[in-house]
Structure 1
Amino acid sequence: MPNIISKLKHRGGDDVPVCGHGAVPKNNYRYRQQRGVNLGSWFVLERWITDEPFRCAKDPAQSDLDIALGKEAKEILEHHWDTWIQESDWEWIENRGINTVRIPIGYYHICGADPAVLHRTDFQPFYDIFAGAWARITQAIEVAASYNIGVLLDLHAAPGKQNDDSHSGTYGKANLFNDRHNQSHTIHVLRCLLTQVHKFCKSHDPPLVNVVGIELLNEPSPPSDKVLQTWYKSAISDLHAIDPDMPLYMGECWRTEAYADFLSRHHEHSKNWPLTVLDHHLYRCFTYSDIVTSAEEHTKALTDLTASTPQMLASVAEKIGRAGGGIVIGEWSGALNPGSLSGKPNEQKEFINAQLQLFEKYCAGWFFWTYKKQHQGDTGWSFRDAVEAGVFPNFVGIKRRDVEVIDLNSLLEAREEARWDAWVCYVQYWAQIPGKYDHARFTYGFRAGWDDGYAFLLSTPPGSMTANEIGFKGAWARGCTSDHGRSYWEFETGFIQALEAVRRDYESRNWEKHVAEGFGRAY
């Protein structure tokens, strides 16, 4: 749908700011609401998800290195890479409304693109075993693009290990943050990853634009925030020099507020940082507190917007958004400890729905862990099983409508009607609170939000099941105006309210009727 929104703005008056992002395919992928699933245990393997690849692994048979040290490793791994996710899986995922996948990889999976990533690491002897992984990773990007699915590449296993878990590549203890070589080498790995992704995507005609970001580290466990944040600044600087536009995702060690402050502070000081995203993982089944809390109480703690988790997400999303970034839930599940379950009907379904509603309200995206397990039936951890059992919705997001013709006057009239209704409520609310306001900024923000919100919806590629919506709302709003002064919050409020109004308008329209009535040709 070529530049329909520029025409709306032209016909709507000069007071509508011109968005600095541009509704181009690359931004549509990167800034849209990411509704995703992790393709866990495709490359970085976890035995609890699939034990078949571990059949010849060396004891303790828990990690990728254990498999490499065992018998028939090359044959076992290549067979697994070629069969774990197939064409039918991509189709099934897209048909559920999922528009992005997070793919956990280890640094050793990149060796087929650059053997130097293995230098002075535990995996140095195993180039032949892992060299074939890179071709499968790039093929995954290519196939995902054919389904309009974005790809977040997550460095799940770094040189020296960033945490003690076996999903960081080896069974041993973490030694990334105690070794300067490992720290610098991990940045080399990320530079290689970004360089090769950039090269691969540019080699296509037209170039692939569906890589939505690179995650610098999964669940890092540093000795202090200062150590990790210093490393993050170095990594971001190096990667920005290679591709200044690629979004970068950061694990926040479950210290979300502290890392929101870090991100906000450095975005202000380094205004040319790329879109930078905090990745928060939310599980409610591991700690003693989780176990003694009932499923009903877990659900209530997510639906009560005055509770700690909703309050934290709301605060962090606002702060990071105003700095030009965002927050996603990179891992979550429907799993509850047996101690939390009472046997009441639908308690797992209600828990899942509570999470979805919360993440949709405050976050730029979410990624369920994980897509599937080898042994079926686990509706807490297997997305596929959860959907098929009816405890997870069969479809998420907005279904794309086949819009062949557009009535510009109708959209403009709907915008102004929605803006007026929102503005009246807004002014009445703030009239009760003494202060100095610039309510015209709300109007400017609302019109910009409506126009760009519709730009996303109407630019959804033909054949896509789900329509694009702006997910990084704060970051996108910030790019729509150069005035970030005292009254900016009023612009932002109008912008975000408009996105909600756009969704309601898009879903309520009878687009087939519009086509039948023969409104003016699409622009």
Structure 2
Amino acid sequence: MGILDKIKDLSKPAVSGDQQYFQPSPTSTSLPLEQSLKRYRKQRGVNLGSWFTTEDWLATELYKHAVEPRGSDFDLARAPNAKALMEHHWDTWITDSDWEWIRSKGFNSVRLPIGYYHLAGVWPDIVKGTDYAPYADVYEGAWPRILNAIDRAGRYGLGVLVDFHAAAGAQNTDGHSGMSGGTVNFWDKSNLKSTALALRFLASTLAPNPHVIGLELLNEPKNDSRLQKWYESTIDELRPLTGPDFPIYVSDAWDTNWYAQWAGRRSDFIVVDHHLYRCFTPEDKAIDGRGHAAKLAHEFAPKFIQLCGQAPIVVGEWSAGLDDSGLPPDTPASERDAQKRAWVTAQLDLYERAAGYWFWTLKTDRPWDAGWSAYNASQAEILPASMVRRTLRQPGDRTAACHQACDAHCAYWGAHGGKPNAHVFNSAFCRGWDDAAMFLRSEGQAEIGFVTPWSRHRRDEFAQSGQLGDDAWQWDHGFEQGVQALTAQALE
């Protein structure tokens, strides 16, 4: 059965206990076509910040009802009438007009931050013994709304990256981790147990969902010597539930080089998430938007592009945000927007080299913020009119392109002591070309974003014919060159 063949869900009904939450996904490498296209395409998305995991500077009206120190969901959970307050917020923050706008701007996915406490209604044990245990009733209605959000996104052709933004005990010191205390208690035994239960539930529930493009294990965890081992043990627990081909995203914990090398050594679908902001440190505040654009292109980009060749990397959060304090006070708004526009253009030029990216964030409830609101950034023409910035054209002849590439491949390796296998290379090149064309013809006209995992699927299929032998590397070269050749010819 080929990767594009549709398969039936063979999961049996739940029986009892934990089994009702943990139904393994099919282990076949086959996926329904629509699901494959959504998960493997280049992701051009936007974050739905402050919908479920909230932030005081984004949802300012909501936080007027919070108790002191008014810095996290925990302070909202303890507010008077918290249940009604939160349910009203969830029901009104994102509406159909938002989904329509997201699609109209060429975004093809959203990143949806949630916390462990949003699962209190569907599985109370997840919050048992945690800070949120006394407030579990506040979140009884959260999970059905999260499922509805995923369904609504899917109806608009959008994929959903579910981001586990707030773990028990807090994985970082910021309020968006669910606590206001500024202390990381994630590593406490009871909190690790809660996190494991939450992630197992999410993985088993979300992996079969055709609109879900991945699960992010933790958002911006504070780097720790235990983190990689935790990633590995957690993934080992989740893979029997998801199969090897469900995309699991991991934060780089601000050490992209380390986690790119780690992910590149794995054979399952692991994506490294890097977040990039240039507005918080004293050094960043001293540089204007054009200066940041130049530094990004000349200093950061070469290394980042190199890392993108080692493993699938995305930029899960980025923005137009700049600290304008270094500009003269009388700088006109048009110039401030021009600085942001230069900064955004440089970022997009770079992030197109990655597997995907998500702008932070869709909206705020403040009157105007073109640095952080996609709505305002679009109105100010800081973001492009559409995230689909290239148009399709008719590609050239596949056979001629394949012959040219294969001749070069065979000539090079023949002259350097290799044993070129023209049949394997040709087969891979043509498959890469055809698949790249298929992705571009699909809804949203997105390229293959995760070329290496997709190539690995196709290579495994080809191996079943008995023709691959020891030439997996030649398949990889041919497939990637086929994708690159078609993409270069079909996009302008």
- Give the TM bin, normalised by the shorter chain: 0.7 to 0.9
Match of 1:381 in 2: 372
Match of 2:220 in 1: 219
| Per-residue deviation, residues 322-365 of structure 1 (Å, max 9, x unmatched) | xxxx111010111122156575573321211111111112x111
Offset at 1:481?
A: 2.4
Offset at 1:22?
A: 6.4
> Distance between the aligned counterparts of 1:426 and 1:291, measured in 2?
49
> Distance between the aligned counterparts of 2:128 and 2:365, measured in 1?
33
Offset at 1:435?
A: 6.8
Structure 1 pair 339/485, CA: closer, same or farther in 2 (3 Å)?
farther
Offset at 1:474?
A: 2.2
> Distance between the aligned counterparts of 2:318 and 2:425, measured in 1?
35
- Is the aligned partner of 1:149 residue 2:133? no
| Per-residue deviation, residues 81-112 of structure 1 (Å, max 9, x unmatched) | 11110001001101111111001001011112
Q: Aligned residue pairs: how many?
A: 454
Match of 1:9 in 2: none
Offset at 1:23?
A: 7.1
Offset at 1:492?
A: 4.0
Structure 1 pair 332/435, CA: closer, same or farther in 2 (3 Å)?
farther
> Distance between the aligned counterparts of 2:289 and 2:409, measured in 1?
37
Letter in 1 for 2:399: E
Is the contact made by 1:437 and 1:487 (CA closer than 8 Å) also made in structure 2?
no
What SS does structure 2 have at the residue aligned with 1:390? Answer: coil
Match of 1:276 in 2: 270
Match of 1:228 in 2: 227
| Per-residue deviation, residues 420-466 of structure 1 (Å, max 9, x unmatched) | 565678789x69x97757384654443221011122233x2xxx4x1
What SS does structure 1 have at the residue aligned with 2:276? Answer: strand
| Per-residue deviation, residues 19-63 of structure 1 (Å, max 9, x unmatched) | x76672221111111111000000111011111111221111111
- TM-score, normalised with respect to structure 1: 0.79
What SS does structure 1 have at the residue aligned with 2:74? Answer: helix
Match of 2:292 in 1: 298
What SS does structure 1 have at the residue aligned with 2:214? Answer: strand
Match of 1:503 in 2: 487
What SS does structure 2 have at the residue aligned with 1:481? Answer: helix
Residue identity over aligned pairs, in percent, reads 38
Match of 1:352 in 2: 344
> Distance between the aligned counterparts of 2:124 and 2:65, measured in 1?
25
Is the contact made by 1:318 and 1:474 (CA closer than 8 Å) also made in structure 2?
no
- Is the aligned partner of 1:467 residue 2:451? no
Match of 1:10 in 2: none
Match of 2:19 in 1: none
Is the contact made by 1:359 and 1:365 (CA closer than 8 Å) also made in structure 2?
yes
- Which of 422, 437, 452 is equivalent to 1:454? 437
Letter in 1 for 2:160: V
Letter in 2 for 1:297: G
Offset at 1:241?
A: 1.8
Which residues in structure 2 correspond to 1:16-27 (within 5 Å)? Answer: 24-27=33-36
Is the contact made by 1:294 and 1:339 (CA closer than 8 Å) also made in structure 2?
no
Is the contact made by 1:36 and 1:98 (CA closer than 8 Å) also made in structure 2?
yes
- Which of 446, 452, 456 is equivalent to 1:478? 456
- TM-score, normalised with respect to structure 2: 0.84
Letter in 2 for 1:263: A
- Is the aligned partner of 1:60 residue 2:60? no
| Per-residue deviation, residues 193-233 of structure 1 (Å, max 9, x unmatched) | 223335xx6xxxxxx40101111000001432xx1111111
Structure 1 pair 173/350, CA: closer, same or farther in 2 (3 Å)?
closer
Is the contact made by 1:442 and 1:490 (CA closer than 8 Å) also made in structure 2?
yes
> Distance between the aligned counterparts of 2:44 and 2:66, measured in 1?
35
What SS does structure 1 have at the residue aligned with 2:200? Answer: helix
Is the contact made by 2:172 and 2:182 (CA closer than 8 Å) also made in structure 1?
yes
> Distance between the aligned counterparts of 2:374 and 2:404, measured in 1?
40
- Which of 302, 315, 319 is equivalent to 1:333? 319
| Per-residue deviation, residues 292-322 of structure 1 (Å, max 9, x unmatched) | 3332232123333xx3x223322222222xx
Offset at 1:502?
A: 2.6
Match of 1:134 in 2: 143
Is the contact made by 1:49 and 1:374 (CA closer than 8 Å) also made in structure 2?
yes
Letter in 1 for 2:235: I
> Distance between the aligned counterparts of 1:279 and 1:366, measured in 2?
9
Letter in 1 for 2:454: W
Is the contact made by 1:113 and 1:196 (CA closer than 8 Å) also made in structure 2?
no
Is the contact made by 1:158 and 1:176 (CA closer than 8 Å) also made in structure 2?
no
What SS does structure 2 have at the residue aligned with 1:280? Answer: strand
Unaligned stretches of 5+ in structure 1?
A: 7-19, 202-207, 321-325, 404-409, 509-523
> Distance between the aligned counterparts of 1:507 and 1:294, measured in 2?
33
Match of 1:286 in 2: 280
What SS does structure 1 have at the residue aligned with 2:215? Answer: strand
Is the contact made by 1:290 and 1:340 (CA closer than 8 Å) also made in structure 2?
no
What SS does structure 2 have at the residue aligned with 1:148? Answer: coil
Structure 1 pair 455/292, CA: closer, same or farther in 2 (3 Å)?
same
| Per-residue deviation, residues 350-394 of structure 1 (Å, max 9, x unmatched) | 211111111112x11101000111113211111111111111111
Which residues in structure 2 correspond to 1:52-451 (within 5 Å)? Answer: 52-197=61-206, 208-224=209-225, 227-244=226-243, 245-265=245-265, 267=266, 271=267, 273=268, 275-304=269-298, 307=299, 309-320=300-311, 326-339=312-325, 344=335, 346-361=338-353, 363-397=354-388, 414-420=397-403, 436=418, 438=420, 440=422, 443-451=426-434
Offset at 1:257?
A: 1.2
Which residues in structure 2 correspond to 1:29-48 (within 5 Å)? Answer: 29-48=38-57
Q: Greater RCO between the two (CA within 8 Å, min separation 6)?
A: 1
